[in-house]
Amino acid sequence: MKRTRLLNSELSYEISRIGHTASLTLCDAGLPIPSGVKRIDLAIERGYPSFLKTLDALLSEMMVEEIVVASEIHEHNSKTFEGMLDVFKRHDIKPVVTSISHEEFKQLTRESEVMVRTGECTPYANVILKSGVVF
């Protein structure tokens, strides 16, 4: 059995195979998932698992150099955005933050290696994580 924090084998596998600059999208329960992009659906019920808790677990195994968010998060869900930055800080990760429109964000998710759906039900609780390197 794994000793590290992230126990979901499918998620751990996908993180292990993502190369530098490839992306993983972590999303709320409502974000459309494009056909052709692998989906890992963790959603069990409304709010579970939460976006921030799932991000925290992901960052225990993934190095991130850039994040992309919908610019609407700043106005409509600043609490989640600030919480996201706190999670990165706890993992000693300082990613570049890029904000684009929600429509552009949805289009960009098509380039993700995998999309991880949470049970989060707050607006714009989505982030594209661009893989960094550990050296």
Whether residue 2 is contained in a domain is answered as no
Is 57 annotated in a binding site? The answer is no
Q: How many domains does the chain have?
A: 1
Whether residue 90 is contained in a domain is answered as yes
Structural domain boundaries, residue 87: 9-131
Rounded to 5°, the CA angle 106-67-84 comes to 100
Longest dimension (CA), the chain: 43
How many helices and strands, by DSSP H and E, does the chain display? 5, 6
Instruction: For the chain, give the mean pLDDT.
Output: 96
Percent of the chain with pLDDT over 70: 99
- Give the CATH number of the domain where residue 122 resides: 3.40.1650.10
Q: Is the pLDDT of residue 4 over 90?
A: no
pTM for this predicted structure: 0.96
State whether residue 119 is helix, strand or coil: coil
As beta bridge partners, residue 116 has: 26, 40
Whether residue 54 is contained in a domain is answered as yes
Q: Is residue 71 exposed (0-12), middle (13-18) or buried (19+ Cβ within 10 Å)? A: middle
Tens of pLDDT along 100-114? 999 999 999 999 999
Whether residue 3 is contained in a domain is answered as no
Q: Among 99, 127, 132, 115, which Cα is nearest to 43's? A: 115
State whether residue 85 is helix, strand or coil: helix
Is 74 annotated in a binding site? The answer is no
Whether residue 44 is contained in a domain is answered as yes
Tens of pLDDT along 48-98? 999 999 999 999 999 999 999 999 999 999 999 999 999 999 999 999 999
Whether residue 123 is contained in a domain is answered as yes
Whether residue 1 is contained in a domain is answered as no
From the candidates 20, 74, 76, 91, give the one annotated as an active-site residue.
20
Q: Is 76 a catalytic residue?
A: no
